[in-house]
Structure 1
Amino acid sequence: MNPTQINRTLSAAEAACRVSGARLTAKRKNVLAVLLRSQKPLSAYDIVDQYSQDYGEPIPAMSVYRMLDFLANENLAHKLNSENKFLACAHINCSHHHGTPQFLICCSCNKVSEIAIKSDLITALRDTVKEAGFQLQSSQLELDCLCADCAQRSPTCADT
């Protein structure tokens, strides 16, 4: 994202927080900006390091975890459970509702793309899980993939 897009996205995040009654503090906004500038998902400790570089002040990892929880609860960021890393929501600037997120994760370069799962697929998944005697706790999906760029260089992730 370029600086103009980041500023536009941060403004949209502030507006969304005002609507929900949440408070996007300066530090929360800065953590979101770190995620928006990143080309890949970041761990909390990656964010601590980048925050210090970007803003010239240290920030405790526990504070970053709390801020990430806030951002996730406000649908401004997502946690990739398989990697214990975080990324900014790709739909902050959108004015319409998005479905359940699905993350396509390149097993070669770690690029992540967020897409929405169709609601009928989630319903079918939920029904199948229920038939198996379980309750679905999260319908977020994380799929190991190969992005188009990496597929041109090497057609598999077998060597990663």
Structure 2
Amino acid sequence: MNNLEAIICHAEELCRDRGTRLTTKRKTVLSGLIHSQKALSAYELIDICKQEFGTTIPATSVYRILEFLESEQLVHKLNISNKYVACSHITCSHEHGTPQFLICNCCNKVKEINVSKSAIGELQESAKQVGFQIMSPQIEMNCICKECTAEEQEYNS
């Protein structure tokens, strides 16, 4: 069993344990996100599902599927770019903290890391002091990955 199959099998078990179902189309969309290893829009996912898996899925269905996958905590929506990324913790069995997403502006690769509870608490307190309440502690940061940095340096040399 390859890594993609193992992740999908684990996602199926998670859904089954929660009383939901990972249908064939849901598996295809999730597989597209996992396979791409970067943030994708719904329309980019439509193209990947057709090219990689030979499956045509209408845009309205892809949006509904992404909503389902997000509710099952299998994908994350990146608000900064209106794209989606597979959760990097699908196969983990322990609880995770607040996700922080490092998003490469060049290639759209995303790295999910966790922010400590104390750091989130400090951010919430700082917001509170200036009259704001944090509605979503998810943090998204525009970055450049080391591969793109290396390419940029090579290009400028």
Runs of 5+ unmatched residues, structure 1: 156-160
The yes-or-no answer on 1:140 pairing with 2:138 is yes
Q: What's the counterpart of residue 98 of structure 1?
A: 96
Indicate how the Cα distance of structure 1 residues 30 and 124 shifts in structure 2: closer, same or farther if over 3 A, else same: same
CA distance in 2, matches of 1:152, 1:51: 30
Q: What's the counterpart of residue 87 of structure 1?
A: 85
CA distance in 2, matches of 1:23, 1:14: 7
Q: Equivalent of 1:51, from 18, 37, 49?
A: 49
Q: What's the counterpart of residue 129 of structure 2?
A: 131
- Deviation, structure 1 residue 99: 0.8
Runs of 5+ unmatched residues, structure 2: none
The two structures, once aligned, show a CA RMSD in angstroms of: 1.5
Secondary structure, aligned partner of 1:103: strand
| Residues 59-70 of structure 1: pairs in structure 2 closer than 5 A | 59-70=57-68
Tell me how many residue pairs correspond in the alignment. Answer: 153
- Deviation, structure 1 residue 51: 1.4
TM-score, normalised to structure 1, is 0.89
Q: Equivalent of 2:39, from 24, 38, 41?
A: 41
Indicate how the Cα distance of structure 1 residues 122 and 27 shifts in structure 2: closer, same or farther if over 3 A, else same: same
- Deviation, structure 1 residue 145: 1.5
- CA deviations on 1:121-145 (whole Å, 9 max, x unpaired) are 1111112112221221111111112
CA distance in 2, matches of 1:152, 1:59: 37
